[in-house]
């Protein structure tokens, strides 16, 4: 794996950013108009994914990065749970729900793979040079 110079280069951050945009577009529809609690919760959960990847990267140490990636992965689970709430309330049709769910599960697996890589890596981060 190549060395990253910024969190923007990390594929899981890029995918999470795309998910954020899709979540914001979804929650700007009329279905969510009167459900501000769910709208805000699903937005915060999806934003937490990108935020934690970025914050962990900026810590400059693998142990802290792994911790923040773990939080980002947990936020994938929270986002997926909120998608179920939206689906159960009829805000998403079957196809859209499955599409979102597949994207979130894929992102979660990608983050998990990154965690596994970092745990096995001899490189401990720039702050330990």
CB 13 within 8 A of CB 50: yes
pLDDT at 22: 97
Q: pTM of the predicted model, to two decimals?
A: 0.91
Architecture field, domain 8-27+34-122: Up-down Bundle (1.20)
pLDDT band of residue 1 (cuts 50, 70, 90) is: very low
By C-alpha distance, which of 48, 68, 46 is closest to 56?
Answer: 68
Q: 43-83 pLDDT, tens per residue?
A: 999 999 999 999 999 998 889 999 999 999 999 999 999 99
Cα 73 to the center of its chain, rounded Å: 6
Per-residue pLDDT, 125: 63
Average per-residue pLDDT for the chain: 93
Q: pLDDT above 70 covers what percent of the chain?
A: 93
> Domain residues of the chain, as ranges?
8-27+34-122
């Amino acid at each position: 794996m190549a060395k990253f110079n910024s969190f923007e280069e990390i594929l899981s951050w890029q995918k999470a950013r795309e998910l954020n945009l899709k979540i914001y577009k979804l929650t700007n529809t009329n279905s969510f108009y009167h459900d501000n609690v769910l709208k805000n919760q699903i937005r915060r959960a999806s934003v937490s994914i990108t935020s934690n990847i970025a914050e962990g990267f900026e810590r400059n140490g693998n142990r802290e990065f792994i911790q923040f990636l773990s939080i980002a992965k947990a936020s994938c689970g929270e986002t997926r749970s909120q998608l179920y709430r939206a689906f159960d309330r009829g805000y998403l049709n079957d196809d859209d729900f499955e599409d979102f769910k597949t994207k979130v599960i894929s992102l979660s697996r990608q983050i998990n793979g990154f965690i596994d890589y970092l745990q096995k890596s001899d490189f401990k981060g720039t702050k330990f040079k």
